[in-house]
Amino acid sequence: MDTTLPQLAVLPREEWIKTLPQAIVASCVLLLDAEDRILLLRYAAGQPGAGTWGLPGGMLDHGEDPVGAARRELHEETGIVLDDDPRLLGYDHRADVNGTGPVIDFYFHGGVLPAGQAIRRSAEHDAHGLFRLSELETAPLTSRPPTLLALHTAARSGTVVCLREGQPL
């Protein structure tokens, strides 16, 4: 009886890495005003998600970390520059988004908007607004109301939330 183990092929690291799961990574920023309303942006016609409202944010650029992407996306989409790094609110793992595969969204709290803060929208958006949680149930959103509620709660309480498919774990 042959008791030798079969030889396993060992892939070079660069080939092995290609076999690992791939995911899109994005960062979003939650900003509140003094009345606890959430800043949302509406996607313009011709954009994916046209007509829906979402948090400022987007995908990481090559070599960029989630905090850097949050700061960059917030500035690109609203003209707002944060003085300090935003605080991590949590993450959401979605198994498949529009057939592109898994997405991991990092969420950050950018603080409280000063009264009268000007918003300079990018061409990607055609409107912005401040929304109370109670107004989100009927609004067309890119994130579900439970996601925004969990993020709002984490921002107000100083906690972190882990989400799966937009739902707290």
Taking only the tens place, the pLDDT of each residue in 107-137 is 999 999 998 999 999 999 999 999 999 999 9
Domain extent, residue 113, equals 22-168
The values of phi and psi at residue 73, to 5°, are -60, -40
Q: Are 134 and 128 within 8 A, CB to CB?
A: no
Q: Structural domain tally of the chain?
A: 1
Give the other-Cβ count within 10 Å of 109's Cβ. Answer: 21
- Residue 149 counted as domain residue: yes
pTM of the model: 0.90
- Residue 26 counted as domain residue: yes
Q: Is 40 exposed, middle or buried (0-12, 13-18, 19+ CB in 10 A)?
A: buried
- Residue 16 counted as domain residue: no
Write out the DSSP string of 102-135: -EEEEEEEEEEPPTT------TTEEEEEEE-GGG
Taking only the tens place, the pLDDT of each residue in 5-52 is 777 778 899 998 888 888 999 999 999 999 999 999 999 999 999 999
CATH number for the domain including 133?
A: 3.90.79.10
